[in-house]
Chains A and B, each alone.
Chain A
Amino acid sequence: MLEAADLMVFYENMLALNNIGVKCAERQIVGVFGANSAGKSTLMYTLSGIMEDIRKKEEMAGGERITVLGQIEYLGQDIMGLKPSARARKGIVLCPERRRIFKESSVIENLRIGGYLASKSQAKETLDYTFELFPPLKRLKKRIGGFLSGGEQQMLAIGRALMAQPKLLLLDEPLLGLSPLIQSLLVRATRGIRDERGISIIITEQYARPVLPIVEYAYILENGAAVLEGSRDEVLNNPDVRSAYFGMSEQ
C-alpha cells in the first residue's frame, strides 16, 4: 500500500531522518518505535506531507532550510512533493502527536470539521462508528474540546482523523502521557479500526510494550536511522530490543 524508500530529511545540515525505508501493506498495522528525537514524528510528517508545509513556511520566513529526499509510493503512485491536503484526499490521514484537537470547538464540531473530505452519508456513518468505538465521546458531544481530559482528547483526535475517511491512518504517539487503562482501550480501538474498517495503520510510540501485541511489523529508530526491523516476533526476541524498549533484561 505504502512504500517509502531512502527517506532523508535534513534540517540545515542536521540529519533528522537517515536513509529510512518503511513499508505498510493493505490492512496491516506497522509499529515505529524509538526514543525522543529518534525521528518518529519527522517520519510521520514526511509521509503525510506536513513536512512539505513546514519546509515551505520555513523557506518563506527565511528560517531553517529543510531538505526532503527519497521516494514515497502510495497505491502505485509517487506522492513525493504532494501537498498534505492532496495526500489526505488520497487517504493518508495523520493523527498528530499531542493530538492538536480544535480546542475552541465542541466535540461534535471537531468531528464535523474532520469530515471535510467525507460525503454526507460517509460523515454520518463514520460519526456513528466513532461514537460506537469511543462511547465517552457521545456523552461529551457538546463539551468544548479544550475541556476534555487527555484520554478523551486522544479519542477525539482519532475519531476526527477517521472522519476524514483514511485508507492509511498515521497515529503519532497516541498513548503519550495516558494511563494504562486508557492505553489498553486505545490499543484495542486501534485494532478494531483495522479489523472493522480495513484501514492500514502506522503507529509510533516511545515505549513498544503496550502496542506490540497488535503490531505485525515493526521498525526501531535511533538517531534518525532504522537500526532494526522485522515481524513482531523477530523484534520481540531481539535481546537488545528487549532491554531497551520493553524494560526486560535477560534473566
Chain B
Amino acid sequence: MEIIIYGTINSVALALMALGFALVYGISRIPNFAHGALYVITGFITWIFLRALNLNYAFSIVLAIIIAGIIGAFIYQFILIRVRGMSISEIIASYAIGLAILEGFRWGGFKGMTYTLPVFIEGTFFIGDIPVDVHRTLVVIIGAGVVTFLWLFTRYTRLGLALRGMAQDERAALMLGIDSDRMAVVAMAIGSMLSGLAAIVLLPLGNIVVEKGYDVLIQAIAVCIVGGLGSWVGAVLAAFIIGFAQILTVVYLGAHFQMVVALLAIILTLILRPSGLFGRQKELEERV
C-alpha cells in the first residue's frame, strides 16, 4: 500500500519534471538541455518575489511561471534559432545556457540550504495507517490536471493542433501556413512554463539548490528516453515505470540507490529498445 501511494506520488513528480522536455522535443526537435536550469530559476524567482519582495504566494507563483515562459521563448528566439537543425549545436548551446544560469546562481551566492518555499497547504492525513501530507496529494492532483490540460489543448485548440501538426511533419505544416519558428517559440514557452510549474509544485518538498537543476535534467532525460523521445504520452508512462522502480529500490535496496534507477533505465532502454516505448526514431528510419 505504501509502495502504491508513494510510487504514484513519485511517478507524477517525475512526469511533471519530464513533460516540458518531452513537449519541446516532440514539437520542435530541440533537446532543451536548459530544462533543469529553468526549473531552478523559477524556484529562485518565486523565492525572491515571496521572501525578498514580500509578494503574495499565489501571485509570486503565477508571475514566476510567466517569467519562466518568457525566458524560454527568449532562449529560442535569440540563441537556439541560430543553430536550428544542427542537433549537436542545439545540445551544446542549450546546455551552455543552462550551465550559465545554474552556475550564475551559485556565483551570485544562492547556495546552501536556506532557500525554501512553503508548502501550499500544511497538514497530513492517513490512508489506512499510512501518513500522506496534503502537499504530496496536491502534486498528484496538479500532475493529473497538467496531463488533462495538455491532452485537451493539443486536441481541441487551434494552436495545440498546429503544434501537433508541426510535431508530425514540419514541412507539411508549413504548407498549411503554420510558421515553424513561431511554433517553436510557443513550444519553448510552454515547455519552460511546465518546467517552472514542476519546480513550484515540487520544490516546497525540499530546498532550492543549484544541484537540483542537474538532477531534474537527468531525470527528465531518463523519462524521455524510456518513453521515446518526443512522445509525451510515452513520457507519462515511463514516469510511472521509473517512479515505481525508484520507490521499490528505496524500499528494498536502500535510498542511496534511487539515482541509479534512472541512469540504469537509460542504459537498458538504449540497449533493448533504442527508440523507447513510443519512439518515432525507428519509424523515421524505416520511412527513409
Interface residues of A (CB under 8 A from B): 48, 50, 53, 57, 60-61, 83-85, 88-89, 93-96, 100-105, 109, 112-117, 160-161, 163-164
Are B168 and A105 in touch, CB under 8 angstroms?
A: yes
Pairwise interchain contact B176-A161, C-beta atoms closer than 8 A: yes
Interface residues of A, dominant DSSP: helix
Judge whether B169 and A102 touch: CB under 8 Å: yes
| Distance to closest chain A CB from B188 (angstroms) | 18
Residue of A whose beta carbon sits closest to that of B165: A113
Are B168 and A94 in contact, CB atoms less than 8 angstroms apart?
no
Tell yes or no: B152 within 8 A of A by CB: no
A30 to B: closest C-beta gap in Å: 19
Asked if A85 and B178 sit within 8 Å, CB to CB, the answer is yes
Nearest B residue to A120 via CB reads: B158
Query: Looking at the complex, which one of B84, B162, B168, B177 makes contact with A103 (CB distance below 8 Å)?
Result: B168
Q: Which B residues are in CB contact (< 8 Å) with A95?
A: 175
Contact (A88, B164) CB under 8 Å given A50-B171, A101-B172, A116-B158:
no
Q: Interface extent on B, as a size class?
A: 20 to 34
User: Which of B84, B86, B172, B174 is A85 in contact with, Cβ under 8 Å?
Assistant: B174
Q: In the complex, what distance in Å separates the CA atom of A112 from the CA atom of B162?
A: 9
Q: A60-B84, A103-B168, A105-B168 are in contact. Are A161 and B161 (CB under 8 A)?
A: no
Q: B177 near A89 (CB under 8 angstroms)?
A: yes
- B residues near A (Cβ < 8 Å) are 83-86, 155, 158, 161-162, 164-165, 168-169, 171-180
Contact assessment for A94 and B165 in the assembled complex, using a CB-CB cutoff below 8 Å: no
Contact of A88 with B165 at beta-carbon distance under 8 Å, contacts A57-B85, A61-B86 already known:
no
Give B182's nearest chain A residue, CB to CB.
Answer: A85
Q: Can you list 22 residue pairs at the A/B interface with Cβ under 8 Å?
A: A48-B175, A50-B174, A84-B175, A85-B180, A88-B177, A89-B177, A93-B175, A93-B176, A96-B172, A102-B165, A105-B168, A109-B155, A109-B161, A113-B162, A113-B173, A113-B176, A115-B158, A116-B177, A116-B178, A117-B176, A160-B176, A161-B176
Contact of A117 among B86, B177, B180 (CB under 8 A): B177
- Report Cα–Cα, A100/B66, bound state, in Å: 36
* B176 engages A116 (CB within 8 Å): yes
A164 and B177: CB pair below 8 A? yes
Shortest CB-to-CB span from A56 to chain B, Å, is 9
B175 touches A161 (CB 8 A): yes
Q: Is the CB of B176 within 8 A of A114?
A: yes
By Cβ-Cβ distance, the 4 closest A-B pairs, closest first, are A88-B177, A113-B165, A85-B179, A100-B172
Kindly list 16 other residue pairs between chains A and B, CB separation below 8 angstroms, not including A83-B179, A95-B175. A48-B175, A50-B171, A60-B86, A85-B179, A85-B180, A102-B165, A102-B168, A102-B172, A104-B168, A105-B164, A105-B168, A112-B161, A113-B164, A113-B178, A115-B158, A116-B176
CB distance from A234 to the nearest CB of B (A): 32
What residues on B are CB-neighbors of A115 within 8 Å?
Answer: 158
